[in-house]
Structure 1
């Protein structure tokens, strides 16, 4: 009887020592061979396979202790696949929390205001952290995949910085940017100024894209929007170079010539009144809001001053004088 008590006491002592050793081992920071350390847990990996993947990447000194810890805490089936990044040494217990809560490494992608859809798509395709599922799809097919309608993708994606898990599909990012644009458009449309010459949010998107490309100084944005809206109300051509350049596509060599302004195309706002058929870029929120809340002015013309700002005029004679003044300064 005394022998049994001694054995039980010894087992209990060993258990306490083992628990203390494990507690110390799993709560002290692990040593990282490099910083930051990246590792990937593949989809469908079991606990043992995931531990082996982390061990081979250098995140764990061995895999068996991690497996034991996960089983002790009842987290064997909670390991989540993904790309992970450790920037500092963390204890094994914290590492278990990271991979069971799916705190995967986040990459970021920025859509720049004024980009065309082709520029946006080229940037997506060149990003190695993104899975390129849209690479072989047409614009119409991309729109179909993300739940959008229409055949033209231009203008539909909101410029912003988007965070995503490495290896995410570009279609997922496209869908987020599309939904974000729709949200901003609808919210801005509900708060729009009265008596604007727009029949739909798509027409707002078209003009906002022109405002985006024409604005050199942020404080001029409301005035530029107002000039175009005043022209639309009077049935005057918008006469804006960026639409002509967009219509030229890859043939544009950086020089806009008189023959380009005279050549009638659907995007030539010198030869045709009204809006072009599609947006010409991805407008930011400021351009959308300026389009829906233009400045109060009778101005119908503007010309670049050469310093990023614009000179606005109510009459053609005033505008011609401004053109002579500022264009001469640019030549001089």
Structure 2
């Protein structure tokens, strides 16, 4: 009996050896299969549709010439069942990807991320043009006002109420999800600026602060000048002087503005012509940055009432009309 058992075991040993060698070979081959690079030289989009299996997806990738030996995916899934759990979405295949790194992203649902930059100093109309060109973002007809309404603002005046920033989103997201974040950020920044305002500020509400901040944003791009520009406007308001600022005139002209303001434009009475109206225009004229919000809330302690461009991005500030006219003659009329 022992002899028969010994002979049986002896005969099975080669079979077991062959079996385990086969298992080792297959495992090694499947590991190598996962490590194969995706055959692309530049980024490529990949849309994973609902109901597709990981095996079918691998076949599609091979049909597109991106991988080879897709049949091995069937055995790889048996070896690692978690690989079958890919998530629906819009992904980006990178030139540095291997099959393993790609399918890990699909399993974790790490979809492609897109960016949208809402630039400071731009109007809602300009932002709408940028939104219309955004990739994979669902844009509606009246998204800005829809956000206002959703937050209890029925004014129909979205200008200046959204924060300029770079936002991230996924394919298929609604623009309203982005705009809600922008709105919330502006509300928070405006609240902080208003609460930290100077006691001598000639403004009556956070909305008035928003209006002045938007004008500061359009008047200068120099960080060191923002508080001085703010001081000029604050000093003028305290004295009952008109703001007399060109950016508001331009905003009121709308599409009529072609790059120059004429004397006729300055004489025209519009809600935004601060050469003709007292006090502030009715709304902001652009999206102010956080820096402009805080400059509007904290004007510099100077007695300036005027400023004029040097035509190099900086300005000359003056406390008297005589000083201002001298600067205008030098830098605008080229007379000394």
| TM-score bin (small chain) | 0.7 to 0.9
Displacement after TM superposition at 1:119 (Å) = 0.7
Quote the Cα distance in structure 2 between the aligned partners of 1:57 and 1:176: 39
> Which shifted more, 171-180 or 3-12?
3-12
Quote the Cα distance in structure 1 between the aligned partners of 2:69 and 2:149: 47
Larger radius of gyration: 2
Displacement after TM superposition at 1:46 (Å) = 4.2
CA spacing shift, 1:155–1:67, aligned 2, 3 Å: farther
Partner deviation per Cα, 1:93-126 (whole Å, 9 max, x = no partner): 2222111222222222222221111111101102
CA spacing shift, 1:41–1:314, aligned 2, 3 Å: same
Query: Which one of 129, 136, 157 corresponds to residue 130 of structure 1?
Result: 136
Quote the Cα distance in structure 2 between the aligned partners of 1:205 and 1:301: 21
Q: Say whether residues 1:121 and 2:128 are aligned partners.
A: yes
1:285-296 aligned at under 5 Å gives the runs 285-296=290-301
Name the residue aligned to 2:33.
Answer: 25
Query: Which one of 33, 36, 43 corresponds to residue 36 of structure 1?
Result: 43
How many residue pairs were aligned?
A: 327
Name the residue aligned to 1:60.
Answer: 67
Query: Which one of 314, 320, 330 corresponds to residue 319 of structure 2?
Result: 314
Quote the Cα distance in structure 2 between the aligned partners of 1:48 and 1:324: 77
Q: Say whether residues 1:278 and 2:283 are aligned partners.
A: yes
Quote the Cα distance in structure 2 between the aligned partners of 1:118 and 1:71: 55
Which blocks of at least 5 consecutive residues in structure 2 are unaligned? Answer: 1-7
Name the residue aligned to 2:4.
Answer: none
Q: Say whether residues 1:218 and 2:223 are aligned partners.
A: yes
Query: Which one of 20, 24, 39 corresponds to residue 12 of structure 1?
Result: 20
CA spacing shift, 1:307–1:275, aligned 2, 3 Å: same
CA spacing shift, 1:192–1:100, aligned 2, 3 Å: farther
Displacement after TM superposition at 1:52 (Å) = 4.5
1:30-179 aligned at under 5 Å gives the runs 30-43=37-50, 45-66=52-73, 68-70=75-77, 72-75=79-82, 78-127=85-134, 129-134=135-140, 136-137=141-142, 139-144=144-149, 147=151, 149=153, 150-179=155-184
Query: Which one of 292, 303, 314 corresponds to residue 298 of structure 1?
Result: 303
- Aligned CA RMSD, in angstroms, stands at 2.7
CA spacing shift, 1:50–1:283, aligned 2, 3 Å: farther
Displacement after TM superposition at 1:69 (Å) = 3.4
Partner deviation per Cα, 1:246-275 (whole Å, 9 max, x = no partner): 111112232212222222222121222222
Quote the Cα distance in structure 1 between the aligned partners of 2:321 and 2:291: 28
CA spacing shift, 1:19–1:260, aligned 2, 3 Å: same
Contact 1:125 1:132 in 2 (8 A): no
Quote the Cα distance in structure 1 between the aligned partners of 2:184 and 2:74: 41
Which blocks of at least 5 consecutive residues in structure 1 are unaligned? Answer: none
1:184-203 aligned at under 5 Å gives the runs 184-203=189-208
Displacement after TM superposition at 1:175 (Å) = 2.3
Contact 2:201 2:298 in 1 (8 A): no
Displacement after TM superposition at 1:299 (Å) = 0.9
Displacement after TM superposition at 1:242 (Å) = 0.8
TM-score (norm: length of structure 1):
0.86
TM-score (norm: length of structure 2):
0.85
Partner deviation per Cα, 1:48-86 (whole Å, 9 max, x = no partner): 454455444544335443454355434356422333223
